[in-house]
């Protein structure tokens, strides 16, 4: 596993230490790895959304109301 040294302001260091003290994370590395994983997941989901929006835009204008579309989407994802 690689090592990185990162400089952060005291306020951020205190925040990280409070997360460790809460018992959710065992150390600063554990906390940072979780942040990176979450950021990666966010970016992946964002890319999926952007592609879906682009596909929708290319599909043209719909005759259906937004409420009708949302109802269908919710029904499909139950």
Instruction: Give the percent of the chain with pLDDT over 70.
Output: 100
31's CB contacts (< 8 A; 6+ apart) are 16, 19, 20, 25
Q: Is the pLDDT of residue 67 over 90?
A: yes
The 10s digit of each residue's pLDDT in 9-24 is 999 999 999 999 999 9
End-to-end CA distance of the chain: 40
State the pLDDT confidence band at 78, using cuts at 50, 70 and 90: confident
The 10s digit of each residue's pLDDT in 28-40 is 999 999 999 999 9
């Amino acid at each position: 596993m690689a090592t990185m040294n990162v400089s952060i302001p005291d306020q951020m260091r205190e925040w990280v230490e409070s997360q460790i003290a809460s018992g959710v994370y065992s150390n600063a590395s554990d906390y940072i790895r979780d942040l990176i994983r979450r950021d990666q997941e966010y970016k992946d989901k964002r890319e999926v959304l952007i592609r879906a929006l682009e596909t929708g835009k290319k599909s043209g204008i719909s005759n259906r109301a937004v409420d009708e579309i949302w109802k269908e989407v919710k029904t499909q994802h139950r």
